[in-house]
Amino acid sequence: MSILVGKKAPVFASKAVVDGGNIVEDFSLDQFLGKKYVVFFFYPADFTFVCPTEIIAFQKKMQEFDKRDVAVVGCSVDSEFSHWKWLQTEQRDGGIKGVKYPLVADSSNSISENYGVLAGEYDYNEDGETIFKGEAKAYRGLFLIDKEGVVRHQVVNDMPLGRSVDETLRMVDALIFHEKNGEVCPADWHEGDAALKESQDSIANYLAN
């Protein structure tokens, strides 16, 4: 599993479905450089059970992400056609209709592999042929990328374990606060809470309260 925090987010250009139904050919996170933070998250597969709960939960919080200048982008190893079909399916029927943020198609598994979330690996058989060992799906990886394209936070869950959208927003708030004020955010910090300067006196005063 790769640790990408502090490094440039891996670059890609891939097919994606945007605005709930438009297929684009060369979707890239580079379009957000200098403009927006990015929450880039992976999920195992379309037409499953935990995945729509997460995808729809992100959509329900899009106003919160928008007002923080955050682009939300999802990704799985499914094709753009699978994404499109799922996006046209009513939520009462197991679909995700109403989701408007981009869903990237990682049909080659290369994006998942470069971000270190692919559940398996490529190997060779006795005949020297390339084979895949494991499950060719992505773990539930999430990467918070700053406006310079650097990964500042990542979390990876196993497939049965859904993520918290509120925790993602908390991490966005912490990053924005740190960039604006230079102070660091202690455990369970939320917007409006006291922060810390990087000194022993600051830590001592914080713990005393």
Greater pLDDT, 202 or 207: 207
Among 51, 73, 151, 175, the one annotated catalytic = 51
What DSSP assignment string belongs to 153-207?
A: EEEEE-TT-PPPHHHHHHHHHHHHHHHHH--B--TT--TTS--B-SSHHHHHHHH
Query: What three-state secondary structure class fits 101?
Result: coil
Active site residue 185: no
Q: Where are the domains of the chain?
A: 14-162, 164-209
Please write the tens of the pLDDT for every residue from 55-67.
999 999 999 999 9
pLDDT tens profile 122-177:
788 888 888 878 788 999 999 999 999 999 999 999 999 999 999 999 999 999 99
Provide the whole-model pTM. Answer: 0.92
CA-to-CA distance for 100 and 135, rounded, in angstroms?
A: 28
Percent of the chain with pLDDT over 90: 81
What 8-state DSSP symbol labels residue 44? Answer: S
14-162 has which fold?
Glutaredoxin (3.40.30)
